[in-house]
Structure 1
Amino acid sequence: MSSGVVSGPGPRVGMALLSMDDDGGLEPFYADLLAGLEEELDRHDGTVFLHVVPDLDAEILAYRRWADEGLVDAVVVSDLVDGDPRQAVCAQLGLPAVHIGGDPASGEWVVDYDNAGAMRAAVEHLTGLGHRDIGWVSGPQRYRHTRARATAFAEAVAAAGGQGLRREGDYGAGSGASLTGELLDAAPRPTAVVYDNDLMAVAGVREVLRRGLRVPQDVSILAWDDSANSRICHPPLSVVSRDVHELGVLTAGLLLRAVGGGTPVVETPPVAQVVARASTAAVGDEPHHPRIRAS
C-alpha cells in the first residue's frame, strides 16, 4: 500500500478512510481489503493512495484536490450513508468510482455485499443453539450497511421468538467494552452477543471475563469478519466470515474496468458463512466442536 502517489504506467487509485481503531491504525477490515486491492493492482503496475480523513467533508475535499491535480485515476467509496454526496461529486469531477456496498440500482460501479443475509445467518446460528435473548453491538447507525443489518437482526430474532437488544458502537475496542457492560447489566441479560467487527468483539470477551462470567458457557460471542484477532482470541471467536481480501481483489477488478472506460456493472461477492469456533455454544452447554455453516 502506498503512503503517497507513485507515478507509474498503471492506474492510480485513491481511497479516503474515516474508520480507524482506538490506536490510530486501520480497522482490520480495511487492512485486509487494501491488501487484496493492492495485490490485484500490482499485477497491472497500479498504485493505491490511502488518505485518512476526519469526516465526509474532508473526504470530498480530497477528491477535489486529487481530481484538480490529476493525482488519481479512480477512487474507492465505502461506508455509504443515505443521500451520500460522493456519487454526485465524483460524477461532477469526472472521477470513476467504485462503491462498496452501493445501491445495485444506481447505475454506478458497485460491489454489492448482502449485509442483511449475513446478519440473518449470524442470528440463525445463535437461535439454532437455543439463544433467544441476543445482544448486538453495532457500527454507527448513519451507515447504510448498519441499517440493513438492523432490519435483518430485528426480523430474524423475532422470527425465532426471541428478544434483541442493540447498542450502537463506533468500531473501536473502547465502545466494544463499555457497550458489552451495558448489555450484561440488562435484564434479562443476553445469552449471546453479535459484534459488527472483531475489535469490539475481542474487547467484549475481555469485559465478560472481567466480570467473572465465562465465554461461551454464560455468554456466546459472535464477531463480524474473520481475522487474526478473531483466531488468536481466547477463546477463538466464531465469526460471520467473508473473504475481505478477495473483496479487495474484486474491487480492484472493477476499478481497472472503470479506468478503462467500461460500462458500470454490479459485482456480488460470495455469500457469507458462519464459522463456529469456541466462543459460541448451546445455551447451558459446553462449547461445541468447530463447524462451518453457509448462510
Structure 2
Amino acid sequence: MKDIARRAGVSESAVSFALNDRPGVSEVTRDRVRRVAEQLGWRPSTAARALSGEGAATVGLVLARPAATLGVDSFFLQLISGVQEVLAQRQLGLLFQVVEDVAAECAAYRRWWAEHRVDGVLVVDPRRDDPRPGLLDELGLPAVLVGGVPDPDRPARPGFATVWVDDAGAMATVVDHLYALGHRRIVHIAGLEGLAHTERRVRTLRAEAERRGLSEVRSVPTDYSDAEGAAVTRRVLSAQSPPTALVYDNDVMAVAGVAAAASLGFAVPQDVSVVSWEDSALCRMVHPWLTALSRDAVSFGRAAARELVALLDGAGGGTVQVPLPRLIERESVRRSPLPEADSRSAGTPGG
C-alpha cells in the first residue's frame, strides 16, 4: 500500500478506500490507484481479508471417499472442472481435501470455520441421516448440496442451496430399455452403500422390477473401483442363473466388467448386455463401445458453483435441477439371449 500510495501521489487510506471499493475517494483517484496497483502486480491478501472480516476469497470441497478411487472417476474430475471455471471468473480459490469418512469431513468444516479458511462449501455425496447440513447451519457456512433431493416438507434455509439430478428417472429409463429388449435377469453393480443417490437407484430398480413382476433383478454395492467391479461381475456371472444384463454405477467398473466377463467366456453383448451409468471416453475405448447414461458433469459443476457464488453475494437458498441423463445406445446392448419361454418364467415371482 505504501508503494502504491507513493507512486499514485495519494495517502495510504485513499489506497485502501480505492482498492476495497469504499466511498471516500473520487472516481479519478480510484482509477489512478487501480492502474498503479495493476502495474505493481498487487493482489489482495486472503489472510488479511479474513482477519478484517472481508472473507477468504476461497470455497471448500471435502470428499469422503477412498482416495484410490478418485483418480479414475471421470465424473468428479469433470465436476471440479465446471466448479473451477465459475470460481476463476470471480477470482475465488478452491480448497480441496480427501478424507476417510463423514466424521473427518465434519471435522474439516469446523477447522476451516475456526481458521476463517473458506467463505462457503460445496457438499457432495448426500447420505442417509446426513449430519453435514445441520453442522453447516450451526457454523453459519453457506453451502450447496450437490446431488441432494429437495424436501418439500422442509422450508428453504438461508445460506443453503441444492443442485440435483433425477437418479430415479434415469434408472427407470435404463430398466425400460432393457425390459423392451427382453431382459428379465438384471444386476445393478452399484456404488457405495449409504449414499443418497445409490439408494435412489437401488429403490427405483426394485420398484421397477416389482411393477413388472421380475424376480431376478437386484443390486450389489461396491466401492466404485475397477477391482470390485470386476470381482462382483465374476461372482454374479458364475451363478446358476447368470444375468443377461449388467448396469454399472460408473464407467470404470463397466469397462472392468467387460474384461471380467470375457475371462469367464461371456461375450458382450451376445451373452450379456452392459450399461454404464457414466459416459466418458473410456466407454468408447473398449470393444464393444458401451451403452451409457450421458450427463454433462461440467455443467453440473458450473451450476453448483454459481449457486454458491449467489449465496456468497447474499441470495437466499434455492433448488436447481439439472437435465435428466440421456441414454446413449451403443453396441454393448442387444436383445436378451434367453429364449422367450425363459424370459417369461424369469418375470414370474418364484419362476
Q: TM-score with structure 1 length normalisation?
A: 0.89
Query: Aligned partners of 1:16 and 1:41: how far apart in 2?
Result: 16
Q: Please list, as runs of the form range in 1=range in 2, the aligned pairs for 1:33-182 lying within 5 A after superposition.
A: 33-105=79-151, 106=154, 107=156, 108-162=160-214, 163-182=216-235
1:261 aligns with 2:307: no
Structure 2 letter corresponding to 1:182: R
Structure 1 letter corresponding to 2:131: P
Q: Report how many residues are paired.
A: 280
Q: How far does residue 33 in structure 1 lie from its aligned partner after superposition?
A: 0.4
Query: Aligned partners of 1:137 and 1:112: how far apart in 2?
Result: 22
Query: Aligned partners of 1:75 and 1:228: how far apart in 2?
Result: 30
Query: Aligned partners of 2:66 and 2:279: how far apart in 1?
Result: 18
Structure 2 letter corresponding to 1:125: H
Query: Aligned partners of 1:11 and 1:238: how far apart in 2?
Result: 42
Q: Answer yes or no: is the 8 Å Cα contact 1:192–1:220 preserved in 2.
A: yes
Structure 1 letter corresponding to 2:161: W
Normalized per residue, the structure richer in strand is 1
Show structure 1 runs of 5+ residues with no match.
Answer: 1-5, 286-295
* Higher CA-based Rg: 2
Q: Answer yes or no: is the 8 Å Cα contact 2:189–2:220 preserved in 1.
A: yes
Query: Aligned partners of 2:94 and 2:289: how far apart in 1?
Result: 33
Q: 1:52 to 1:21 in 2, by over 3 A?
A: closer
Q: How far does residue 80 in structure 1 lie from its aligned partner after superposition?
A: 1.3
Query: Aligned partners of 1:237 and 1:21: how far apart in 2?
Result: 26
RMSD: 2.0
Show structure 2 runs of 5+ residues with no match.
Answer: 1-44, 50-54, 339-351
Q: Answer yes or no: is the 8 Å Cα contact 1:135–1:164 preserved in 2.
A: yes
Query: Aligned partners of 2:195 and 2:64: how far apart in 1?
Result: 12
2:183 aligned counterpart, secondary structure: coil
Q: Of 271, 295, 303, which aligns to 1:218?
A: 271
Q: Answer yes or no: is the 8 Å Cα contact 1:240–1:275 preserved in 2.
A: yes
Q: How far does residue 26 in structure 1 lie from its aligned partner after superposition?
A: 5.5
Q: Of 254, 267, 272, which aligns to 1:201?
A: 254
Q: How far does residue 25 in structure 1 lie from its aligned partner after superposition?
A: 2.2
Q: How far does residue 70 in structure 1 lie from its aligned partner after superposition?
A: 1.1
Q: Answer yes or no: is the 8 Å Cα contact 1:16–1:52 preserved in 2.
A: yes
1:239 aligned counterpart, secondary structure: strand
The answer for the alignment partner of 1:240 in structure 2 is 293
Q: Answer yes or no: is the 8 Å Cα contact 1:10–1:44 preserved in 2.
A: no
Q: How far does residue 10 in structure 1 lie from its aligned partner after superposition?
A: 8.6
Q: How far does residue 243 in structure 1 lie from its aligned partner after superposition?
A: 1.0
Q: How far does residue 11 in structure 1 lie from its aligned partner after superposition?
A: 4.0
Q: How far does residue 123 in structure 1 lie from its aligned partner after superposition?
A: 1.1
Q: TM-score with structure 2 length normalisation?
A: 0.76
Q: Answer yes or no: is the 8 Å Cα contact 2:251–2:283 preserved in 1.
A: yes
The answer for the alignment partner of 1:25 in structure 2 is 71
Q: Answer yes or no: is the 8 Å Cα contact 1:14–1:72 preserved in 2.
A: yes
Q: Answer yes or no: is the 8 Å Cα contact 1:208–1:214 preserved in 2.
A: yes
Between stretches 17-26 and 135-144, larger displacement belongs to 17-26
Q: How far does residue 97 in structure 1 lie from its aligned partner after superposition?
A: 0.6
**Alignment deviations for residues 79-124 of structure 1 (CA, whole Å, 9 cap, x no partner):** 1112211111111111111001224124230012111111111111
Between stretches 6-15 and 25-34, larger displacement belongs to 6-15
Q: How far does residue 251 in structure 1 lie from its aligned partner after superposition?
A: 0.5
Query: Aligned partners of 1:201 and 1:75: how far apart in 2?
Result: 31
Q: Answer yes or no: is the 8 Å Cα contact 1:220–1:279 preserved in 2.
A: yes
Structure 1 letter corresponding to 2:218: L
Structure 1 letter corresponding to 2:273: S
Query: Aligned partners of 1:131 and 1:71: how far apart in 2?
Result: 52
The answer for the alignment partner of 2:52 in structure 1 is none
**Alignment deviations for residues 50-79 of structure 1 (CA, whole Å, 9 cap, x no partner):** 101111111111111111111111111111
Q: How far does residue 268 in structure 1 lie from its aligned partner after superposition?
A: 0.2
The answer for the alignment partner of 2:61 in structure 1 is 15
Normalized per residue, the structure richer in helix is 2
